[in-house]
Amino acid sequence: MRGGLEGAKSLSHITRKSDDEDLLPRAATPVADADLSKARAHWIDRDTVTWRAEPEARHFLAFGPEGDITYDGGDLTGDLRLIRLVPGTLSEEQRRAWPHLAGHPAWKVDPRDAGHVRRALRAQVVAVERDASGALLAATGVQIAGVLDDLYAAKATAATLGPSGRVVPKLALWAPTALKVELALYGPGRSVHRMRRDDESGVWSVHGPPSWMGREYTYLVTVYSPKAGKIVTNEVTDPYSLAVTADGVRSRLVSLDAAAHKPPGWDRLAKPPAVPQERASIYELHVRDFSASDASVPAGRRGTYTAFGGDSAGMRELRALARDGLTHVHLLPVFDVASIPERAADRTEPDGDLAALPPDSERQQECVARTAATDAFNWGYDPLHYTVPEGSYATEPDRRIKEFRGMVAGLNEAGLRVVMDVVYNHTSSTGVLDPIVPGYYHRLLDDGTVATSTCCANTAPEHAMMGKLVVDSVLTWARQYKIDGFRFDLMGHHPKANLLAVRRALDGLTLDKDGVDGTSIILYGEGWNFGEVADGARFEQATQANLAGTGIGTFNDRLRDAVRGGGPFDADPRVQGFGSGLAGAPNGSPANGTPEQQRARLAGYADLIRIGLTGNLRDYVLPSGRKGSEIDYNGSPAGYAAAPGEVVTYVDAHDNETLFDALAYKLPRDTPMADRVRMQALSLATAVLAQGTMFVHAGSERLRSKSLDRNSYDSGDWFNRLLWDCSAGNGFGAGLPPRADNGPRWPYARPLLADPALRPGCAEIGAARARYGELLRIRASTPAFALGSLTEVQRRLSFPGSPEGVIALHVDTAGLDPRWTSVTVVFNATPSEQTQPMPALAGREVALHPVQAASDDPVVRASAFDPATGALTVPARTVAVFVRS
């Protein structure tokens, strides 16, 4: 429209001529609520629009094929057409599908205009409200994800998207709102190729000759952009990319079946034996941490995929852990990330000799901060391309596919299966997905702005095609890279249905058809409940409680907090727990409360740990008669799982301080290093000897420290060092941790970092590693720690009454383990010897577990059994495992 009535003549294309007069503006008003930069209306299916508008007014959808609708002079201008809306209501099915819109008024598309819906979706769409005189009352943009799914998803979800074809390449992109999509090919020069649209699916596709293989490409998507307020042509990479150029600038057309992308023996790779999820023991590791500080790795291979082979110190340690019973290595993000320059020449590292600076100095973190944006380190929770390996971990970005596969092979050959940390809940920005289908791939708030509760631009896997992208990407990693498990970051921001779709898709993979047994692939993630999706606000989430009965695991923060003490965000980091001195070794912090409050908290923590030791089962009944679900954890049920395999038990991870650093804060400062080692082992034992999946942060078995850094995501190699050579220490005393996330804790941290008594030597690091290895061997060799079901746990596992600061668990193994009829574990967290009454063992033949009986730790070997009374005596700060023949 060029203003006034001239452009309004176009209404005759949509409405009957006799109705035109009623639809034309009558009286413009300068006070209309008409912010077209917002999108407060929701077009949820082909028939239904919801909007917090006045029911008595008259409502329309205006669409502008030229993308030029604007608000000016109190009314809408531009070349617009109208779709009439009539009052309606949401059905119960619609209310269930869109719970956050359930209270909104609803309108129905007038059947006379239903034929124009698809055309409107390829234009600018505005919801319009006018009074009886025709004066504009309100106008807003429209969220269209629901109607796109309704119209296109049935066929589009069955389409093969991205690159396909081993010899004759095909490319396909879902872009139902686009006016035109073209393929731009690069190298040599640039050529542009038309793509054909399938109107039923909204998929654009093109075939090409074999000579296209290996070439760089992008898509040219011509589409209305609400962000730009006009029709634009966006040049974008492929969201289904299998390869990209350095820094993800362009996609590259490759066949992952090509020999050039496979290391020797890849097609014949032998996997370590699969284990049920409740038997998995997982080691969380960052690719760069693994070798960046390992002098036994050639300099050019440090920090890369290629370090996962040979006979380096790190590989020797991984093989030793596998022999002890470790089953999986969990790799922090290794997909293509946005935050690390992929070419070595583009990276900068801190200057100077950081090791020469004082252990409590501010200067180390200042040096690290100066280069943080361009150094080689980041955790990687900022996805750029979901299904491409990260290029900075390759010796050259273009070698990423082959070298990533070589890493998987190296870990498998070391006896370890491989888990990928995947981050489908957000992207680093809206720049990859949104330019293709604006307003679709990211979750929008009620005003149309992108939700950022995860940290960044939240995705919307509740929308069919984002959900499909998640499933398709996971399947590619499983088939083409032989990944054995997936850890979903912020999984509670996914619908439960999306995770179940992933599970079904994986279960459909077979060795004969796909080269992979999908049923052996484990799934777990962060089932936290927060943000705009919290408490089922938009869908049934993949949260801790909701995943009970699915076999998908979630991290158990209950046991973690009970062992460590307090929570991750305490202002005073000295709040103590079962494993950090609450049981008889107070540190004097007022944050711990009165002695009475401490005893009460210790008792509550003990119940959280007991439930955690069962696999955090909601229906397990404690000796008190209360079920796990009836134990309180910050206002929520402590127990939530239906089976042990649905819980990942841990006491530290990459988030928050390492266990050693947490104990540095929480144990009394004068605690001898030997006792710190014992409390480290006891704390780790609560995870290792629990039912369900066991998880540990790399290096915690050797007292790893990040110099008290609670959030080392961008703290460089310096604060994230994983030191295999004990003569270099454990990382403690590397300077004050980065100010941005740790500044308020510097007053607590400074005196600790300056204290040389808190820096362990080789003897202490070796002792910690030995204790952890013993725990792994006990877990791996003893069926008592893998009961597998609520029925078996409730029947066999019990918690005898214990002294304060002691937890005992007893497992009846008759008919389960041919060697022993029972196994009893005593966790003594107190600073003194304790006796655990076990009258049922009186007169029986009981001894320390053979692994501990052969330990080089004289303290644990001093644990004793009194056959007259059945009592078990356990030294201070010790976990002892007894077996009855």
- CA count, 13 A, side-chain hemisphere, 275: 23
- The phi and psi torsions of 600 (rounded to 5 degrees) equal -65, -40
Distance CA 160, CA 31 (A): 49
Report the alpha-carbon distance of residue 474 to residue 461 in Å, rounded: 13
Cβ atoms of 806 and 814 closer than 8 Å: no
β-pairing, 522-525 vs 485-488, is: parallel
Helix (H) or strand (E) holding 92: helix 92-97
User: Tokens 């290391």 — which residue?
Assistant: 263
The number of helices, as runs of H, and strands, as runs of E, in the chain is: 22, 41
CA–CA distances in Å: residue 676 to residues 529, 719, 747, 828, 847: 34, 21, 22, 14, 26
Rounded to the nearest angstrom, the gap between the alpha carbon of residue 272 and the centroid of all alpha carbons in its chain is 25
Q: Annotated catalytic sites, by residue?
A: 489, 526
CA contacts within 13 A on the Cβ side of 123 = 23
Residue 631 phi/psi, 5° resolution? Answer: -85, 135
- Compute CA distances 79 → 122, 123, 125, 268, 794, whole Å: 14, 11, 12, 62, 70
Q: What is the DSSP string of 437-505?
A: STTTSB-B-TTSPBP-TTSSEEB-TTSHHHHHHHHHHHHHHHHHH---EEEETTGGGSBHHHHHHHHHH
Q: Count of CB atoms within 10 A of residue 366's CB?
A: 14
Burial 275-297 (b: 16+ CB within 10 A, else e): bebbbbbbbbbbbbbbbbbbebb
CA dist 876 to 106, 203, 859, Å?
67, 67, 9
d(CA 700, CA 617): 26
